[in-house]
């Protein structure tokens, strides 16, 4: 564990479809981290994969040169803020501080020179990461997945956490927990005995949990839930999977440990009252920009997408993938005349942008979109752009990408690749923002190197 990685060549990391799929076979994958799949191979084999790992291309340590699918955008620098982590998967700004989540169970406070202190440690409540997984899962998606501080944290000391815990029922893989905790009086740590469980969700498979939680400008808590590896969950409004939920942590409705906002779209009609939007596959990271909630939804067969979430919106999965028709029985996407509404008559909302797993030449563009945020800081070429990531396009070397999209009131958002001076030497796991600065989080360990056993996680701050 934590062995020093061998030096990697500098250069780009684009791989051809044949080489990438060969690598997938070598490491036992049909998919990648946040839920994308190798559509080319699985289509050829006639199988349906719903598994995952986030991905992207265009960094050091690869084969020929970055694919030109995205228009070329500005070049930025990065400086390390914290190293020695395992799998940093969120950066949250609150209480005048920066907090970073490590998937293996810790929340750290970041100082000027890296990790300053441990704020919360839930490692003893997590499932055993990386153990007893099927061979088609390359990166365990379970663990510590989300953190949100109450808008009144400075006075009530409340915070909220999403994590994966063992299940006693042998029919389940684990349980997904959303809990409230109370910080200590000095707010320098968390009283773990203060836990109040809000949601305890049985999870039959070890994948597609999502996990981001965010307070909206309305004061309600929003949570992202993947489809649990069952694509039809996103159209089943009697469960919470494949959806965005919205709850009132300060209220109570009936016997529930939380309140249901009265204007949630399914209050008084068939479906779970907690639901805010649905038709999603594995929404990997979301953030508010003003009153607009933007998320990345990881694709299966061919396409990755970014959506603006609206109340009562149906985002089409598994009837559509990106702007394209999707056959949920075959697990394939194609051009053609698509379903435009659900069985209930709801219009299926198109994403704001999409990108393919492979370009027209058969070279990898990237797998598993990583949702980001609208940049508001001092890097002028990125100001007011939506900055998001792509996990990797190589499973043998770090190959993340950064992309900027220009938000528009209507139509598709144009995209540009954000180049990193010297190359981006990580698989991208998350993005974050604090005091106007943008951060990208990830691991320098390739998927073939069992990243969750190595302290190769890093937090970078973007510079101009």
pLDDT tens-digit profile of 21-65?
Answer: 444 433 333 344 434 443 333 332 222 322 333 333 333 333 334
Alpha-carbon Rg for the chain, nearest whole angstrom, is 20
pTM: 0.89
Query: What's the mean pLDDT in 280-290?
Result: 97
Query: CB under 8 Å to 254, separation ≥6 — which residues?
Result: none
Q: Which domains does the chain have, with CATH numbers?
A: 17-463 (2.120.10.30)
Query: What's the mean pLDDT in 214-234?
Result: 97
Question: Phi, psi (5° rounding) for residue 459?
Answer: -115, 120
Whole-number pLDDT of residue 374: 98
Instruction: Give dist(CA 373, CA 381) in Å, integer.
Output: 15
Whole-number pLDDT of residue 67: 61
Query: CB under 8 Å to 193, separation ≥6 — which residues?
Result: none
Give the whole-number percent of the chain exceeding pLDDT 90: 79
Instruction: Give dist(CA 228, CA 241) in Å, integer.
Output: 6
Cis preceding linkage at 318, omega within 30: yes
Instruction: Give dist(CA 109, CA 79) in Å, integer.
Output: 18
pLDDT tens-digit profile of 364-408?
Answer: 999 999 999 999 999 999 999 999 999 998 878 899 999 999 999
- What Å distances lie between residue 380 and 264, 289, 420, 461, CA to CA? 38, 18, 15, 15
pLDDT tens-digit profile of 418-455?
Answer: 999 999 999 999 999 999 999 999 999 998 889 999 99
pLDDT band at 2 (very low <50, low <70, confident <90, very high): very low
């Amino acid at each position: 564990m934590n062995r020093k990685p061998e030096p990697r060549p500098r250069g780009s990391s684009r791989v051809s479809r044949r080489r990438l799929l060969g690598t997938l076979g070598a490491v036992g994958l049909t998919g990648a981290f946040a839920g994308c799949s190798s559509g080319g191979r699985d289509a050829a084999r006639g199988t349906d994969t719903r598994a995952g790992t986030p991905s992207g291309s265009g960094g050091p340590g690869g084969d020929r040169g970055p694919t030109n699918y995205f228009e070329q955008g500005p070049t930025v620098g990065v400086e390390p803020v914290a190293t020695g982590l395992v799998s940093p998967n969120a950066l949250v700004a609150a209480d005048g501080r920066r907090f970073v989540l490590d998937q293996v169970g810790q929340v750290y406070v970041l100082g000027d020179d890296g990790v300053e202190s441990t704020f919360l440690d839930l490692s003893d409540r997590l499932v055993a990461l990386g153990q007893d997984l099927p061979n088609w899962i390359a990166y365990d998606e379970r663990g510590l997945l989300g953190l949100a501080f109450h808008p009144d944290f400075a006075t009530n000391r409340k915070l909220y956490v999403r994590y994966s815990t063992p299940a006693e029922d042998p029919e389940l893989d684990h349980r997904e927990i959303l809990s409230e905790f109370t910080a200590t009086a000095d707010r320098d740590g968390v009283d773990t005995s203060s836990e109040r469980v809000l949601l305890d969700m049985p999870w039959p498979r070890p994948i597609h949990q999502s996990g981001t939680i965010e307070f909206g400008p309305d004061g309600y808590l929003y949570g992202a839930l993947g489809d649990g590896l069952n694509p039809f969950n996103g159209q089943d409004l009697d469960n919470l999977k494949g959806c965005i939920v919205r709850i009132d942590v300060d209220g109570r409705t009936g016997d529930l440990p939380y309140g249901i906002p009265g204007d949630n779209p399914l209050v008084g009609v068939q479906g779970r009252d907690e639901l805010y939007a649905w038709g999603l596959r594995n929404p990997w990271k979301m953030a508010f920009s003003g009153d607009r909630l933007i998320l990345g939804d990881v694709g299966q067969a061919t396409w990755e997408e970014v959506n603006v979430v609206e109340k009562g919106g149906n985002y089409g999965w598994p009837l559509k993938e990106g702007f394209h028709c999707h056959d949920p029985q075959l697990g394939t996407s194609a051009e053609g005349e698509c379903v435009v509404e659900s069985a209930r008559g709801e219009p299926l909302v198109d994403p704001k942008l999409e990108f393919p797993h492979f370009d027209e030449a058969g070279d990898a563009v990237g797998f598993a979109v990583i949702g980001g945020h609208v940049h508001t800081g001092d890097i002028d070429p990125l100001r007011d752009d939506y900055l998001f990531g792509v996990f990797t396009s190589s499973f043998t070397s770090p190959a993340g990408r950064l992309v900027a999209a220009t938000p528009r009131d209507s139509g598709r958002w144009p995209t540009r690749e954000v180049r990193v001076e010297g190359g981006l030497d990580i698989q991208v796991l998350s993005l974050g923002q604090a005091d106007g600065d943008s951060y990208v989080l990830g691991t320098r360990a390739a998927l073939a190197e069992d990243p969750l056993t190595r302290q190769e996680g890093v937090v970078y701050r973007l510079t101009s």
